[in-house]
Structure 1
Amino acid sequence: MRFRPCIDIHQGKVKQIVGETLQADASKVVENFVSERGADYYASLYKEDGLTGGHIIMLGAGNREAAVSALRAYPGGLQIGGGITADNAADYLREGASHVIVTSYVFRDGQLHRDNLRKIVSEVGKERLVLDLSCKERDGKWYVVTNQWTTFSDLEVNEANVRELESYCDEFLIHAVDVEGKREGVQEKLAEKLAEWSTIPATYAGGARSIADLARFRELTGGKLDITIGSALDIFGGALPYRAVVDYCDPKRSL
């Protein structure tokens, strides 16, 4: 289990927000934290600590400059997502991203657009693509949600569909929408199932708030899934020491 750091950028600033509130009406966005530091500061911190496979997420328009500053501060060390398409993906790779993360370009209006998925794979290659599966529970099952997490797609997140999507990408980034940004603990059933289903690297995001949560996550997943933590960390205004998380998830630790 690795700790995958994150940099979320909204309106050009590094923030931690409750993802479900990210809507067209900016006044309704619930912000847990707004940093006085630039995105490049966090990228340099992660580089110094040797953390790889972290991600930058651009939340809406107007975030490219801040995102590129982070990519240039840590070339090859960070993935990037948010508004990525087949037309602009290669540009972000040239700026230093290790991978591009795709969400709305392939999951839109409640459907998986396989033509767009094939198009971006053709453009950047399977080995540079991460698929973001934002999962929300309904009737005891999980579905990918789209349109800023407001619309259920018809794609159930289950073993068969996870295995199919693996043929198109190098990794998964999986947001547990029901708990993301709320610091209420990980969504245990989802984490357990994802560890069972996925055979490629996958990073879970949502709800982790303590070392005890990390220990429980490690137990549930057998160390097969990586984890990212945002608003709970002290570097983003939370109570959980970033340094403690880095040390706990050090790859030299044994399961």
Structure 2
Amino acid sequence: MLRPRIIPCLLVHKGGLVKTVGFDKPKYVGDPLNAVRIFNEKEVDELMVVDIDATREGRDPDYALIRSMAAECRMPLAYGGGVRTVEQFQRIVGLGVEKVAVSAAAVNDPALITAAAERVGRQSIVVVMDVRRKRSKWEVFTHNGTRATGLDAAEFARRAEQLGAGEIVVNSIDQDGQMKGYDLDLVRSVRGATSRPLTVLGGAGKLTDIAGLVREFGIIGAAAGSLFVFKGIYRAVLINYPQRADKDALIASA
């Protein structure tokens, strides 16, 4: 039986685990491998790891780090950052990663989505859309939110599905790190454009934000960064995740 997934998202910057606000001002919050070990103990549904330096710096993924994380990880792992060729997709999947995410490469070379899906399987292809609201539309940005593409988020999600994406991640730049709730209008727009599994990121500040997302959209991925690395009004660094019983109650209440 398919169920909503609650997904911590870890950002890697200069080898460390960080959290951003509005895709800016990265704050160091710990060691990525240590975070993976803690999330193992907490039995998370899935883990998403994004290297926020690789694409901006034009370099390859850090395969040594990916290998180490995959070896430690006891839950499905999604990795993104610096991926731009079919061979990189294949290499990363070969290291034990279940899903490989692309953003800028999917915009610059949409045919990559199809080629990668044919090589490693549609289920392993995740297209990430970092989105900023501009008046009445939502525009896709790349390179950590610094490059506008002119692409409408819903239209690009529809196109990505047609090309072979197995999953779509929609990430609100405006809500990133704000902990004030998801942009549900953005989610509605994208959900109406694609039938692929959808994961939402950006803005969750409390577990009721996740419950509200699930209540409206049903089987969906609810991803968060700050919610699972900060605790309390002063945002003390403390990796956390709801216990199984609390998670089941959360989903049941939605």
TM-score by length of structure 2 reads 0.81
Determine whether 1:165 maps to 2:160.
yes
Unaligned runs of 5+ in 1: 22-29
Match of 1:90 in 2: 90
Change (3 A) 1:135 1:234: closer
Match of 1:45 in 2: 38
Match of 1:118 in 2: 114
What does 1:160-239 align with in structure 2 at a 5 Å threshold?
A: 161-167=156-162, 168-221=164-217, 223-234=218-229, 238=235
- SS at 2:5's partner residue? coil
Q: Please state how far the C-alpha of 1:235 moved relative to its aligned partner.
A: 5.4
Which of residues 2, 13, 21 is equivalent to 2:16?
A: 13
Unaligned runs of 5+ in 2: 55-60
Distance 2:76 2:227 in 1: 22
Q: Please state how far the C-alpha of 1:103 moved relative to its aligned partner.
A: 1.0
Match of 1:101 in 2: 101
Distance 1:13 1:205 in 2: 20
Are the equivalent residues in 2 in contact too, given 1:76–1:97 (CA < 8 A)?
no
TM-score by length of structure 1 reads 0.81
Change (3 A) 1:202 1:251: farther
Q: Alignment RMSD, CA only? A: 2.7
Matched to 2:177, the amino acid is G
- SS at 1:3's partner residue? strand
Determine whether 1:128 maps to 2:129.
no
Sequence identity, in percent?
Answer: 20
Match of 2:67 in 1: 68
Change (3 A) 1:156 1:214: same
Change (3 A) 1:31 1:246: farther
Distance 2:53 2:153 in 1: 25
Match of 2:29 in 1: 34
